[in-house]
Amino acid sequence: MNIIRVGVDIAKSVFHVHGVDRHDKTQWQGKYARQKWLDALSRKVPVGAEIGKEACASSHYWARELQKRGCCVRLIAAQFVKPYVKSNKNDRVDAETICEAMSRPNMRYVALKTVARAAHRIREALVEQRTAKATQIWGLVASMASWPRWAYSSSAAPYQDGWKTLRTGSAMASEFCSMVWPMISDTWTIASQRLTNGSLTLLTRTLWRGV
């Protein structure tokens, strides 16, 4: 038995596998508990074999674990797997379908998401939210006859520098700023405290660096 390609269907507690040889003949089918499937795969599959899964949140974690064991991991978007379903959909059929999709020479794969990349995506979302909120506040203050020269801060409270400028505007704008600033400041403080709890300290440093 020389397995070269394995399709894995990931579930909450039971994983189904389907392995084939170089002639596309089925050599291994089975289902394993979440805690045992990696050991079973290590016993059955030689180092360097291709392991395929549908791309999802947990698939990136399992892909990194498989790479540590010397496997070549392929993540496939669900819409590219669906055309290869041959019968009624279930976990066993899904594993076989993933294995079939991997055999296509022009199949497109999803890039493995690293921890640093995941943190960077959260940071990008925070920057977009900051920009949107800054623009909204600028529009509201401008409607009160104040024309601020906007400035972003590089700290965790990204509006503070610009806020000083807004307070020098009209009395109405100054009153508006004094009402809104505590809400923004408290929101960012709470977010920072939540992110720095436990194992998310490194993630927090990545998020706030340069925001």
Q: List, for residues 144-168, the tens digit of each pLDDT value.
A: 655 555 444 444 444 454 555 555 5
Domain that holds residue 127: 115-208
Q: Please state at what angle helix 201-208 crosses helix 115-142, rounded to 10 degrees.
A: 50
Give, as one character, the DSSP assignment of residue 10: -
Position 190 in a domain: yes
- Say yes or no to pLDDT of 136 above 70: yes
- Say yes or no to pLDDT of 198 above 50: no
Identify whether residues 144 and 200 lie together within a single domain: yes
Residue 207's pLDDT band (cuts 50, 70, 90): very low
Q: How far apart are CA 185 and CA 190, in angstroms?
A: 9
Position 109 in a domain: no
Q: Using an 8 Å Cβ cutoff, are 158 and 211 in contact? A: yes
Query: 145: alpha, beta or left, given left = phi > 0 and alpha = psi -120 to 50?
Result: left
Identify whether residues 141 and 94 lie together within a single domain: no
pLDDT of residue 88: 78
Position 110 in a domain: no
Identify whether residues 168 and 79 lie together within a single domain: no
Position 107 in a domain: no
> Which carries the bigger pLDDT value, residue 201 or residue 78?
78
Give the global pTM: 0.60
Residue 15's pLDDT band (cuts 50, 70, 90): very high
Position 181 in a domain: yes
Share of the chain above pLDDT 70, in %: 66
Identify whether residues 35 and 87 lie together within a single domain: yes
Phi/psi of residue 33, each to 5°? Answer: -65, 155
Identify whether residues 155 and 185 lie together within a single domain: yes
* β-strand pairing of 50-54 with 72-76: parallel
Identify whether residues 119 and 36 lie together within a single domain: no
- Say yes or no to pLDDT of 100 above 70: yes
pLDDT of residue 16: 92
Share of the chain above pLDDT 90, in %: 12
Sign of CA dihedral 154, 156, 158, 162: negative
> 72 forms bridges with which residues in the sheet?
50
Position 29 in a domain: yes
Q: Which of 102, 129, 161 is the last residue of a domain?
A: 102
Identify whether residues 64 and 98 lie together within a single domain: yes
Identify whether residues 179 and 119 lie together within a single domain: yes
Q: Which of 168, 139, 167, 134 is nearest to 151 (CA)?
A: 134
Q: Which of 70, 102, 134 is the last residue of a domain?
A: 102
- The encoded tokens of residue 192 equal 């920072």
174-184 average pLDDT score = 69
Identify whether residues 129 and 163 lie together within a single domain: yes
Position 38 in a domain: yes
Position 108 in a domain: no
- Say yes or no to pLDDT of 110 above 80: yes
Residue 76's pLDDT band (cuts 50, 70, 90): very high
Element (H, E) at 143: none
Residue 28 belongs to domain with CATH number? 3.30.420.40
Sheet arrangement for strand 72-76: 26-33, 14-20, 5-9, 50-54, 72-76
| Count of structural domains within the chain | 2
